[in-house]
Structure 1
Amino acid sequence: MMQRRVAILVKGYPRLSETFIAQEIAGLQDRGLGQLIVSLRQPGETKVHPVHRRITAPVLYLPEYLKDDPPRVKRGREFAERQPGFAEAERLFQADLARDRTANRYRRFGQACVLAAELPKDVGWLHTHYLHTPASVARYAATILGLGWSFSAHAKDIWTSQAWELSEKLDSSAFGVTCTASNLDYLRSLASQPKRVELVYHGLDLAGIVPPERVPWNGERPFRIVSVGRAVEKKGYGDLIRALAGLKGRNWRFDHVGGGALAKTLKERAEKAGIADRITWHGSRERGEVFDLLEKADLFVLPSRIARSGDRDGLPNVLMEAQAHRLPVVSTRVSAIPELVTDGETGLLVEERDPKALGQAIARLMDDQPLALRLAEAGEIRVREQFSPEPGLDRVASLLGEALGARAA
């Protein structure tokens, strides 16, 4: 009998900001699950994570915009129209369009038709990362072909989507997983069958991270603060600039890693605050370079906030990586961060959008090195013991394997 595969739908591939997805794909590969990666966007990044190099699954790139390849879109539409499930898929699309008449809706239905036409015959299930646009494509395509589909929900896709759309997708999918308890509670509140959504921490493979021996900071050199994250609203770096400006009289340096639309604005704010000469903006960097900075740092800060759109962090990998390097961390009480960081035990937490409290937390760890070392050691122990990726990978592999088996029976 032919070995069946799962199509894994993603927004783009490969993406440095989504290594947690690549980690899951690699983990499923290690467990013997055949996969086809389906990307809604063309690759747009030159740097890749080591985990991307491990993945052997082929990638099917859908037309990012329908105007990019009209003949391909036309062939997809003609194929889809001949399928028994097309009428129902079009009904779902029209219902969505009536409530959100945007070009994005047309694009997703067109991509779904192309996917339905080009999906290899040995693919027996669709699994999508994110409940917004990739899930729309998965839902339409699965309906056209009469296949089942499932999802992994993360953060932005949940908190920036309308409740009606989430509810309908939850009820249409066979099952889903999400990576934080706060996500789980919200999604279950919208689902007619709440138990079909499960909590699966994606965790992080920390086996290759060997923490350095930490020596207490003695004030003879600048206190080294590091943060890793895109320069976007939900990361809260404007709050960190204001917090550091309030510590202008202290001896510190700050390294930021990550690109993003707000990078220029943040640099201008640092210049205006008179602290630009103490900040290094590294832009995007590969994993080895990030780890070098973490090894040399005294503190990791992630000032996450809820953006005006509702977007927010889930359970940031960078916090886990910092803790695995035995670094003390300062962050905010946003989303699932308190599921990882317990204030006063494995790090310090402050309220979002509070630069004064953020600055006080940084100063506290500068001044109390025994506390900083204790938090760092406790954080490392907890992240290694409770946030291993293996249990989550086993569960997702089991769910997808059962789904494939049921379809083949």
Structure 2
Amino acid sequence: MVLLKGYPRLSETFIAQELLGLEKAGLELELVSMRRPTDKKRHPVHDEIRARVTYLPEYLHEEPLRVLKALWACRNKPGFDKALRCFASDLRHDLSRNRFRRFGQAAVLAHEWPGDAGWLHVHFIHTPASVAAYTHLITGIPWTISAHAKDIWTSGDRDLSGKLDSARWAVTCTASGFRHLQNLSTDKSKVHLSYHGLDLTRFPHFDEERRHGDGSDPNDPVRILSVGRAVKKKGIDILLHALATLPPSLHWHFTHIGGGDELPHLKPLAEELGLSNRIVWTGAMDQKQVLEHYRQADLFALACRITSDGDRDGLPNVLVEAASQNLACVSTHISGIPEFFTDGENGLLTAPDDAAAFSRALQTAITEPQLRARLGFAAEKRVRTSFDHRSSITELKALFEQEWEKPL
């Protein structure tokens, strides 16, 4: 059984890729989602996953009879009292409607648990892991965690430590997250590092030679691309300010792919900065459409930052995707990004929240097509030698198999 916060989601292709990879590796999965889908599009990989999906009550008041029936049935389970005590303790630190919701969702999951499922694996160590931890206490079913980025860095140390001690093991996808979780775990050997990688069959080598524009020709602007939800941690406002300070003599065009809550603020900002006639906001696209944009672009840019609440990316999949198409990338020195890119060798990296530095890096990449070609070549080599998703699937399957050999 795999517990997800929402499914399917356009922004979580790495999870869908992992689910399909585990199925192909011989594991039988059932999916449980805490939220129903909100994206209007789907990636092709979602249609290839065979596992059945069950949806928990997103809000308890929407399905009160289902929740009450589950709570009534769970009261007789051996671990229910222990789960209640844990819930009461958690309430002292987090007195919120969300905390009640997580316990109610856990009761539903425990009550409706399929008899042939013997393991619970959860993606994200924040709210989904709370549901999983309560479910584990109620049922005794062993559980494990895949932790990523926001879920790690916006959770308190007490919360993370408790979940790490309760779970059989946890895996995360950046060295920075790995070190942080290891420091919080009583048993450091329970925390594992495994990079997601890419399904390279979906991102085959791009054979065509890239253009050599240097921004000097108004009829041949350098095409800059960014992909990702418009949220604060993506630093799209920083990118816009960086574009606005490029020399007026440079000719470029910027395309952003993705939805997000910040778009209503970013579009007026682009207008205020005098950039609107050089920008296209496409909205969300599926993976095949995004691949075509990688291949048409000259440069990829993502100005990732750490927000005031600690939220940040790990190693954004879109950077690895862009690199797989020998597309030169400009980004920032945070989280797992420097674990993939080395500044000046296979990408250009600047400090986060520094629009002036980001602008200088963009200018360098725009005006030096030979540099773009060298960086793109080196980045693609890094992807194809070290970031094949089959490695992470093999590692994850091995972790499951090691635990299945232990007594429950």
TM-score normalised according to structure 1 size: 0.96
Secondary structure at 1:224's aligned position in 2? strand
| Matched-pair contact (CA < 8 Å) for 2:242–2:359 | yes
Between the aligned partners of 1:390 and 1:294, the Cα distance in structure 2 is 23
Between the aligned partners of 1:44 and 1:369, the Cα distance in structure 2 is 40
Match of residue 228 from structure 1:
227
Per the TM alignment, residue 402 of structure 1 is displaced from its structure 2 partner at its CA by 3.3
Match of residue 365 from structure 1:
365
Per the TM alignment, residue 331 of structure 1 is displaced from its structure 2 partner at its CA by 0.2
Between the aligned partners of 2:239 and 2:390, the Cα distance in structure 1 is 34
142, 166, 170: which one pairs with 1:172? Answer: 166
Between the aligned partners of 1:136 and 1:405, the Cα distance in structure 2 is 26
Match of residue 213 from structure 1:
209
| Matched-pair contact (CA < 8 Å) for 1:248–1:275 | no
* 1:46 counterpart letter in structure 2: K
Task: Name the stretch that deviates more: 243-252 or 214-223.
Answer: 214-223
Match of residue 302 from structure 1:
302
Match of residue 41 from structure 1:
35
Q: Which consecutive residues of structure 2, in runs of 5 or more, have no partner in the other structure?
A: none
User: What does 1:240-279 align with in structure 2 at a 5 Å threshold?
Assistant: 240-247=239-246, 249=248, 250-279=250-279
* 2:70 counterpart letter in structure 1: G
Per the TM alignment, residue 375 of structure 1 is displaced from its structure 2 partner at its CA by 0.6
Task: Name the stretch that deviates more: 292-301 or 217-226.
Answer: 217-226
* 1:12 counterpart letter in structure 2: G
Identity of aligned residues (%): 48
Secondary structure at 1:198's aligned position in 2? strand
Per the TM alignment, residue 200 of structure 1 is displaced from its structure 2 partner at its CA by 0.7
Between the aligned partners of 2:100 and 2:406, the Cα distance in structure 1 is 32
Per the TM alignment, residue 136 of structure 1 is displaced from its structure 2 partner at its CA by 0.5
User: What does 1:330-345 align with in structure 2 at a 5 Å threshold?
Assistant: 330-345=330-345
How many residue pairs match? The answer is 402
Secondary structure at 2:315's aligned position in 1? coil
Between the aligned partners of 1:403 and 1:143, the Cα distance in structure 2 is 18
Between the aligned partners of 1:18 and 1:231, the Cα distance in structure 2 is 14
Per the TM alignment, residue 366 of structure 1 is displaced from its structure 2 partner at its CA by 1.5
Between the aligned partners of 2:85 and 2:196, the Cα distance in structure 1 is 35
Between the aligned partners of 1:143 and 1:399, the Cα distance in structure 2 is 22
Between the aligned partners of 1:78 and 1:201, the Cα distance in structure 2 is 42
Per the TM alignment, residue 248 of structure 1 is displaced from its structure 2 partner at its CA by 5.5
99, 104, 111: which one pairs with 2:98? Answer: 104
Match of residue 3 from structure 1:
none
CA RMSD for the aligned pairs?
Answer: 1.1
**Deviation readout 1:14-58 (Å, 9 max, x if unpaired):** 001111111111010001111110100112222111111110000
Match of residue 142 from structure 1:
136
Between the aligned partners of 2:276 and 2:182, the Cα distance in structure 1 is 45
Between the aligned partners of 1:240 and 1:116, the Cα distance in structure 2 is 46
Superposition misfits of 4+ residues, deviation over 2 angstroms: 207-210, 401-408
Between the aligned partners of 2:126 and 2:60, the Cα distance in structure 1 is 19
**Deviation readout 1:266-292 (Å, 9 max, x if unpaired):** 110110011111000001011122112
Match of residue 399 from structure 2:
399
* 2:227 counterpart letter in structure 1: V
| Matched-pair contact (CA < 8 Å) for 2:211–2:298 | no
| Matched-pair contact (CA < 8 Å) for 1:223–1:251 | yes
Between the aligned partners of 1:248 and 1:263, the Cα distance in structure 2 is 25
Between the aligned partners of 1:214 and 1:86, the Cα distance in structure 2 is 61
**Deviation readout 1:385-404 (Å, 9 max, x if unpaired):** 11111111111112223334
TM-score normalised according to structure 2 size: 0.97
Between the aligned partners of 1:208 and 1:239, the Cα distance in structure 2 is 31
**Deviation readout 1:253-307 (Å, 9 max, x if unpaired):** 0000011111011110110011111000001011122112111111000100001
Between the aligned partners of 2:209 and 2:132, the Cα distance in structure 1 is 47
Per the TM alignment, residue 147 of structure 1 is displaced from its structure 2 partner at its CA by 1.1
Match of residue 152 from structure 2:
158
Secondary structure at 1:34's aligned position in 2? coil
Between the aligned partners of 1:116 and 1:151, the Cα distance in structure 2 is 17
Secondary structure at 1:151's aligned position in 2? strand
**Deviation readout 1:176-234 (Å, 9 max, x if unpaired):** 10000000000000111011100011111122323132232254301100000111100
Secondary structure at 1:13's aligned position in 2? coil
**Deviation readout 1:138-172 (Å, 9 max, x if unpaired):** 01001101111100000000000011000110111
Between the aligned partners of 2:336 and 2:364, the Cα distance in structure 1 is 24
Between the aligned partners of 1:74 and 1:287, the Cα distance in structure 2 is 41
* 1:370 counterpart letter in structure 2: Q
Q: Which consecutive residues of structure 1, in runs of 5 or more, have no partner in the other structure?
A: 1-6
**Deviation readout 1:317-342 (Å, 9 max, x if unpaired):** 10011111111000000111000111
**Deviation readout 1:58-102 (Å, 9 max, x if unpaired):** 011000000010110011101111100101111111111111100
| Matched-pair contact (CA < 8 Å) for 1:347–1:375 | yes
Match of residue 12 from structure 2:
18
Between the aligned partners of 2:182 and 2:382, the Cα distance in structure 1 is 27
| Matched-pair contact (CA < 8 Å) for 1:128–1:151 | yes
